[in-house]
Structure 1
Amino acid sequence: MSDISGANDSQDAAAVAAQLLAAGAPFDALQLVALREDAAALALRGIALAQIGDLERGIELLRRARARFADADKLAKARCILAEAEIRLALRDFRTASRLLAGLAGAFGDLQDRFNAAHAVLLEARLLMLTGRIGEAGQRLDTEMPLIMPASLRAAHLLLRAEIAARRARAQEAALLLADAVALAGDHAMLRAQAAALGEALERPVARTAGGRLLVLREVEELLASGALVLDLGRQVLGCDGIHVDFTGRPILLMLLQMLAEQCPSDVTRDTLVQRVFGAREVDEGYRNRLRVEMSRLRRHVGGTAAVRSTARGYRLVPLRGGDVVVLSPPIASPEARLLGLLSDGEAWSSFALAAALGASQRSVQRGLAALMREGQAGPVGDGRLRRWVARPLAGVTPNLLLVAATGTGDTKDMR
């Protein structure tokens, strides 16, 4: 009889610990499971330690728990995988997170666990956002979600939508979503902290005009709605009247467009374009042919926002709607502004994750990291394959909203 009573006590303690974790109280949860070694307790301890910040130890305990659960307990094993995937996102281990999340939402659906299925969808969307695929992240969140969800899960859902809206320069939409998320977060400390960070980000400068004026996100949104043709170098987007053309992963086209936009309405000579964009010391027919090919690609890519016209000397940019041309730069005056913006979200990044998020080669990322280290703005932690990079917090600016599409103000910490 005592054995049965003890088992029930253990189950009750695990249930209470799970509720505490869902409410964002990891220290209280740890007190209930700290000395236990059964599978459920190991999983709960792993999640609690991850919420506190000991991510590597959290992964270790979750893997031990997953191994101890019986093969027939597919739901418990799936929940361990989901929790590890969320930690991997916090560690910016995108490759492992992607592998763990593959098919997981569907698996939870088959197991009739709709809440964790919804949470898996949130993590998939966050992974897409962190790796620069903002459009796909928004589409993933449009997946049918349960009509009835825990308040913390609904708050996390709204926070992610708000962050995506902010990265699309939709300040008003982001603010409304954020207000709804705060109302749902209640006393959940981690969700409230995440909401507060995003709220502060919406009020900090996210861009700089050619004249040096700093703009907050609301002003960028107003500029995009004004009829002006806006080239946002931080987000790598050309926008006008609701049309947005993404230049992520197209560095040559972006450099050409930037040079034309900065000189508009004047033209830029072919020789200047070749020397600046291709780094040519001497301009020959081969480089001119290459320029013609890239300009043809640029014409197709700018779509209905602008035209690229040939002149006797070179090329010029013509806004199709006749408005002004405005070039916005990141508020951080540094060649590595986008890289520094990613690092400044407070998480530790591997060079591989940085390259994936920026759509750049690891070699170029490593050169940028070396430059930031020389300037004392970033530094490595760990050695070899475990090496990660962190940066000092940047006061007064919001670098993580400037990036092409990627990076967030932290990860959803509502571990389950």
Structure 2
Amino acid sequence: MDSMIAAAARALAGGDALTALQRVALRDDPPALALRGIAMAQLGEHPRARELLRRAARAFGPHESVACARCVVAEAEVALAQRDLGDGKGPAPLLAAAHTLQAHGDTTNALQARLVAARRLILLGRLSEAAGVLAAPSADSTPTVVPARLPPALAAVAALTRAELALRALQIDAARAALQQAEEAAQHAGVPALQAEVAHAHALLGQPAARLLGPRGEQALLLQDVAALRASADTLVVDACRHAVHAGDVALPLARRPVMFALVRALAQAWPDDADREALIATVFRTRHPDETHRARLRVEMGRLRKLIAPLAGVEATARGFALRPLAGRSVAVLAPPVEGEQGALLALLADGAAWSTSALALALGDSQRTVQRALAELESGGLVRAIGQARARRWVAAPMVVGFTTILLLPASPPNP
């Protein structure tokens, strides 16, 4: 490594992108291209950064596998910052790069590759895969080596990734411990953007995460309150954030059964009373003029629901409609999201402060781009989101006033098959 490349690398390590560019701005050799790409990424010029990193990887060629792998990791990190999630390749290229780096003793960059892959999977709601990537052995089945002493910035990112996985799983104690580690590492690293990200994650624990709907009215709950309620064996919890029904250790996912979930939520909100047939039809089938076919369909769907939730509750027909009867003398609670409607998950994704493309939002939510565009138009008309850029470069961000609650429970998660 010549002196100018070394000086540029030291400047980048210290966060001084402009000085690094001064050292290598007029050079087109592969190491200089890679350093220029990283510098442009630090300056927020993500498209130019990715172009330079791709040129560097091509210029290094297959005979310099470690340098190529580092470029792959750097480009993937820039793509993550751009919320470019739709390359169709999944984590395979990153994990291959991680294996190459690990095999050549570059354990720090190998860990960075796995962290980028895991964070991409987390954004897509593939939480079990993300946890597997962080814990996975290397491709030759030997244990993955983690450096005994990580650079502070990388240690902070690793702890933040563990904290996000724990928060999504409502493991509050584990999340607090990971956030404490992230805060200490970020302070030591001295990177303002990283410190702000840790502070934002900490703030989630103190913001309302859901609304508890019950006979006594509505109550705001923090994440730890939601975790405690979900763990209670004395309460049947109908979770409208994750579209599931819980009672202690028993969970019934209904994200793939929207009619079933709409029925059980309507019954739960009426508990301990019964729910009127006409109101159920209007709520579940979205019609204000029911006829006999709707009533027949309601009876059929109620029969399916009765069979589906039999381990947790019964459904009793009454003169007026239907009533939910939880087993074992449990009470009933309904967890409602802080933002109702289909736009809630969009706001949850945009709440991270990054600029998202429509295609990335559609991929994360599992919806069509047209569906996402309609939802964004409604949110934009309400002043909750705003667009930046034009045409293919258009990105969406949350409006600054969308604060005061956490939408972490609305973030997408791949539901298991019922």
TM-score (ref. length: structure 1): 0.83
Q: Deviations over 1:342-399 (max 9, x none)?
A: 2222112222222232233333322211111111222222333332222213454243
Q: Deviations over 1:294-317 (max 9, x none)?
A: 8626853x585x234242565443
Q: Deviations over 1:36-85 (max 9, x none)?
A: 33222222222232233222222122122223223322222222222222
Aligned residues: 395
* Residue 141 (structure 2) aligns with: none
Cα deviation for residue 261 of structure 1 reads 1.7
Share of identical aligned residues, percent? Answer: 38
Measured in 2, the distance between the counterparts of 1:333 and 1:170 equals: 24
* Residue 219 (structure 1) aligns with: 225
Which SS does the other structure have where 1:93 is aligned?
A: coil
- The 8 Å contact of residues 206 and 216 in structure 1, kept in 2 or not, is answered as yes
* Residue 156 (structure 2) aligns with: 155
* Residue 42 (structure 2) aligns with: 51
Which SS does the other structure have where 1:37 is aligned?
A: coil
**2:255 counterpart of 1:255:** no
- Return 203-212 or 29-38, whichever deviates more: 29-38
- The 8 Å contact of residues 27 and 48 in structure 1, kept in 2 or not, is answered as yes
* Residue 4 (structure 2) aligns with: 10
Q: Deviations over 1:129-172 (max 9, x none)?
A: 21122333233333244232524333322211111211222222
Cα deviation for residue 125 of structure 1 reads 2.0
Quick one: which of 86, 89, 102 aligns to 2:80? Answer: 89
Quick one: which of 22, 29, 42 aligns to 1:38? Answer: 29
What residue identity is the alignment partner of 2:220?
L
What residue identity is the alignment partner of 1:362?
Q
Q: Deviations over 1:201-246 (max 9, x none)?
A: 2111111223343222122223223432223323434333244444
Measured in 2, the distance between the counterparts of 1:261 and 1:115 equals: 50
Cα deviation for residue 322 of structure 1 reads 3.2
Which SS does the other structure have where 1:218 is aligned?
A: helix
- The 8 Å contact of residues 344 and 393 in structure 1, kept in 2 or not, is answered as no
Cα deviation for residue 269 of structure 1 reads 4.6
Quick one: which of 192, 202, 208 aligns to 1:199? Answer: 202
Q: Which runs of 5+ in 2 are unaligned?
A: 138-143
Measured in 2, the distance between the counterparts of 1:291 and 1:123 equals: 49
- The 8 Å contact of residues 82 and 101 in structure 1, kept in 2 or not, is answered as no
- The 8 Å contact of residues 5 and 32 in structure 2, kept in 1 or not, is answered as no
Measured in 2, the distance between the counterparts of 1:295 and 1:192 equals: 53
Measured in 2, the distance between the counterparts of 1:298 and 1:363 equals: 35
What residue identity is the alignment partner of 2:398?
A
What residue identity is the alignment partner of 1:131?
L
* Residue 165 (structure 2) aligns with: 164
- The 8 Å contact of residues 229 and 319 in structure 1, kept in 2 or not, is answered as yes
Which SS does the other structure have where 1:327 is aligned?
A: strand
* Residue 288 (structure 1) aligns with: 296
Cα deviation for residue 193 of structure 1 reads 2.3
Measured in 1, the distance between the counterparts of 2:322 and 2:397 equals: 41
Measured in 1, the distance between the counterparts of 2:93 and 2:13 equals: 26
Measured in 1, the distance between the counterparts of 2:154 and 2:52 equals: 24
Cα deviation for residue 270 of structure 1 reads 4.8
What residue identity is the alignment partner of 1:123?
V
Which SS does the other structure have where 2:83 is aligned?
A: coil
- The 8 Å contact of residues 4 and 23 in structure 2, kept in 1 or not, is answered as no
- Return 171-180 or 254-263, whichever deviates more: 254-263
Which SS does the other structure have where 2:367 is aligned?
A: coil
What residue identity is the alignment partner of 1:166?
L
* Residue 377 (structure 2) aligns with: 370
- The 8 Å contact of residues 345 and 400 in structure 1, kept in 2 or not, is answered as no
Quick one: higher RCO (CA 8 Å, sep 6+), 1 or 2? 1
Measured in 2, the distance between the counterparts of 1:323 and 1:26 equals: 60
- Return 135-144 or 74-83, whichever deviates more: 135-144
Q: Which residues in structure 2 correspond to 1:327-342 (within 5 Å)?
A: 327-332=334-339, 336-342=343-349
* Residue 61 (structure 1) aligns with: 52
Which SS does the other structure have where 1:349 is aligned?
A: coil
Measured in 1, the distance between the counterparts of 2:322 and 2:110 equals: 52
Question: Would the alpha carbon gap of residues 282 and 95 (structure 1) be closer, same or farther in structure 2, given more than 3 Å must change?
Answer: same
What residue identity is the alignment partner of 1:169?
L
Measured in 2, the distance between the counterparts of 1:29 and 1:291 equals: 70
Measured in 2, the distance between the counterparts of 1:76 and 1:293 equals: 59
Q: Deviations over 1:108-147 (max 9, x none)?
A: 3145144333322222222222112233323333324423
Which SS does the other structure have where 1:99 is aligned?
A: coil
Question: Would the alpha carbon gap of residues 294 and 14 (structure 1) be closer, same or farther in structure 2, given more than 3 Å must change?
Answer: farther
Which SS does the other structure have where 1:399 is aligned?
A: coil
Measured in 1, the distance between the counterparts of 2:272 and 2:212 equals: 17
Cα deviation for residue 329 of structure 1 reads 2.1
What residue identity is the alignment partner of 1:86?
E
Question: Would the alpha carbon gap of residues 129 and 100 (structure 1) be closer, same or farther in structure 2, given more than 3 Å must change?
Answer: closer
Q: Which runs of 5+ in 1 are unaligned?
A: 1-6, 408-416
